[in-house]
């Protein structure tokens, strides 16, 4: 049985340029890091806002699991299409009445890998408490025999993300931050064995504001008039991280950041 898993996690893919970069580079990144399992955050993949059927089809060939965030419902059609998307995971602490699922369990070489998505509440839309939602899931029988558990904690506030890291340390293999689109340099293995990083960054244009054209983004701050944001296309980078996980114990052995220019 395979004893160590290398898991790649790609940060928020923004629009067509982010998708193209990912498609072009994913094979070389996977072989460079000898990747066994890939998770991609896709909440900004369709024109910067949400995901749809076409974009899902494009991304699912690159990834084993696709996570979301506060932009989950931006493309309304996803609500009815989601049932057919067996790699897609939306935040677990949305309303219980929401379509979709908040976690999925995948099996690779006899090992179960749970991918769990949650959103934060600080400076974000009001949702259920992510700490209690994750606590309940991790205490449930569904998770009992799952060897590897990866949490995508999609949140704005560094404090909430760090608190989640400590809350879940030793109970999951990794707490990976997404949403702010800027990679942080605080990757580490916490004392009880969970990998942690506050944010893995964004896949897309790095010469704008969070992947969007700087003109409209700046005008919003200067005029307070809502602007239609357009994804930008310069300085395309792929951001993420790679974790090495002990499949027997579920503990993280290593975490490194990934920052690749488009190949
Ligand atoms: Fe995002
Ligand atoms: Fe987000």
Q: Residue 126 maps to which CATH number?
A: 3.60.21.10
Structure confidence at residue 55 as a pLDDT band (50, 70, 90): very high
Q: Is 181 a catalytic residue?
A: no
For residue 128, is pLDDT > 90?
A: yes
- Residue owning tokens 């997404």: 178
Q: How far is the CA of 234 from the centre of ligand 2 (A)?
A: 21
The SS3 assignment for 60 reads helix
Structure confidence at residue 262 as a pLDDT band (50, 70, 90): confident
Alpha carbons 174 and 244: distance in angstroms, whole number? 10
Q: How far is the CA of 37 from the centre of ligand 1 (A)?
A: 21
For residue 263, is pLDDT > 80?
A: no
In the prediction, which pLDDT does 1 show? 78
Structure tokens at 215: 């003109």
Ligand closest to 119 (CA) is: 2
Question: What is the count of structural domains for the chain?
Answer: 1
Beta-carbon count within 10 A of 37 CB? 23
In the prediction, which pLDDT does 46 show? 98
For residue 29, is pLDDT > 80?
A: yes
pLDDT tens digits, one per residue of 202-243: 999 999 999 999 999 999 999 999 989 999 999 999 999 999
In the prediction, which pLDDT does 27 show? 97
This prediction has a pTM of 0.98
For residue 156, is pLDDT > 80?
A: yes
Ligand closest to 46 (CA) is: 1
Q: What is the mean pLDDT of residues 111-121?
A: 98
Q: How far is the CA of 156 from the centre of ligand 2 (A)?
A: 8
Bridging pattern class, strands 195-197 and 188-189: antiparallel
Q: Whole domain around residue 239: which residue ranges?
A: 4-261
């Amino acid at each position: 049985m395979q004893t160590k898993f290398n898991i790649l996690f790609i940060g928020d893919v923004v629009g067509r340029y982010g998708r193209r970069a990912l498609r072009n580079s994913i094979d070389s990144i996977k072989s460079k890091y000898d990747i066994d399992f890939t998770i991609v955050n896709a909440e900004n993949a369709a024109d910067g806002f949400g995901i749809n059927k076409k974009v899902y089809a494009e991304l699912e060939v690159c990834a084993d699991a696709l996570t979301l965030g506060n932009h989950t419902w931006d493309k309304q059609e996803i609500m009815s299409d989601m049932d057919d998307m067996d790699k897609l995971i939306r935040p677990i602490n949305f309303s219980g009445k929401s379509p979709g699922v908040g976690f999925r369990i995948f099996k690779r070489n006899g090992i179960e890998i749970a991918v769990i998505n949650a959103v934060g509440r600080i400076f974000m839309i009001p949702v259920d408490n992510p700490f209690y939602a994750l606590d309940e899931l991790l205490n449930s029988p569904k998770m009992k025999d799952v060897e590897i558990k990866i949490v995508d904690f999609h949140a704005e506030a560094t404090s909430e993300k760090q608190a989640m890291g400590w809350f879940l340390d030793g109970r999951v293999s990794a707490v990976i931050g997404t949403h702010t689109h800027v990679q942080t340099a605080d990757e580490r293995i916490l004392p009880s064995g969970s990998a942690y990083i506050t944010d893995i960054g964004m896949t897309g244009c790095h010469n704008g504001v969070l992947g969007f054209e700087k003109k409209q983004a700046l005008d919003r701050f200067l005029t307070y008039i809502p602007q239609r944001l357009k994804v930008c296309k310069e300085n395309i980078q792929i951001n993420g991280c790679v974790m090495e996980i002990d499949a027997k114990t579920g503990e993280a052995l290593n975490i490194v950041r990934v920052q690749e220019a488009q190949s």
